[in-house]
Structure formats: C-alpha cells, structure tokens
Amino acid sequence: MIIHFDDGREPVYKYRDIFKDFKGSIVWFISTSTIGKKQEGNRYYTPHNYATWDQIRECRDLGWEIGNHSHEHKRFIAMTEEEMIYNIEKSQKIFQDELGEKPTKFAYPFGKFDAKTEEVVMRYFDYRRNTKREDGNYGVYKERPEQLTDKELLIFHSLAEKNPKSCEYKVDELKKLLCMI
C-alpha cells in the first residue's frame, strides 16, 4: 500500500501519528514556494498553514519519502519548457539546501500532464505520478474502501478533524481505512 500526500499542508504533519503502525510507504509531495505559509479557507480547504521545513524533516526521519510537487504549484501543461525547468530546478535546489538531497519522485500539480511536460519532467525524476482520474476522484478509497488491495495508491491533499472540505479527508475516516489495510 502506498499513500501519497500532495502540497505540503500542515494538517498532514499534525496527524502523522495515525500512520505509526502503517506498513506501507508514504510519499509527501511538497511544493516549495508555500513552505511555512498560511492557506486561507476556501471551497476546497479549511484555513491552515503549510508545513515548515522542520516538520517535513521530522516526517522524513519517520521514514516518509519527500517528493517534488514543483516550486509554484502551477499547471505544467500551461507552462513553457523554460517555466517548467525553472520550477523543477528551483525546487530541487531548495530541497538540496534544506534536506541535503533532491527528491527522485514528482507529482504533477493538479494531476495534469501531456507529452511535452513528460519529456521535460523525465529528465529530472525516476518516478512521475499522474494518476488523477477524469472524474476528479483519486481512487476507490472514497467509494469502495473494502476493495482496496495491498498495491493500491491512495492520494490525499489534506486532512480535517471534522467538516472536511472537498479536498480534505476526515481523520476518523482515514483511521478506519488504515484499520482495513
């Protein structure tokens, strides 16, 4: 079982202890321009902060892999090649400076990619995740959690204690999901 978290939101760090007995792997894809900043509430998220470098390091030290989610978290399919290269190289330099290493995994912001973006991104990363479904959902865990397999990839953006917005997953539901695995 693999769990991916996108964007680097602080609630993922806050609830990290629910994964202490998780036997699969966790990759936290971070957009470097938002580290330590505040996210205002909107239709997708409740107000929260983005994780700090110390929080990201702590999760890495717990065994989480840190992945690259670009610097600015903009749609790569709308960028020029130069803009994509800037976003990748800037974020990779920041990761190297802050963590002492560069991520080898990349998740496309908004899950969108095309042949042009793939050609650029493959120059830098061994793994590129592009699994967003056309209906906007990220996998069977929302509709049919009983059908999860040990090879399933679960993708989350953020977690919320109660009243989650559309891009958040309720903490209690995730705990139940982890018990099924």
Domains contained in the chain, CATH given: 2-180 (3.20.20.370)
Instruction: Give me the count of residues in the chain.
Output: 181
Position 181 scores a pLDDT of 67
- Neighbouring residues of 155: CB distance < 8 A, sequence distance ≥ 6: 3, 4, 5, 6, 129, 131, 132, 138, 139
Per the prediction, the chain carries an average pLDDT of: 85
Comparing 76 with 162, the larger pLDDT belongs to: 76
**pLDDT tens column, 25-54:** 999 999 999 999 998 888 778 888 999 999
Position 90 scores a pLDDT of 98
8-39: buried (b, 16+ CB within 10 Å) or exposed (e) per residue?
bbbbbbbbbeebeeeeeebbbbbbbbbbeeeb
Position 97 scores a pLDDT of 98
% of the chain exceeding 90 in pLDDT = 51
Residues 110 and 41: their CA atoms lie apart, in Å, by: 18
Can you give the C-alpha Rg of the chain in angstroms?
16
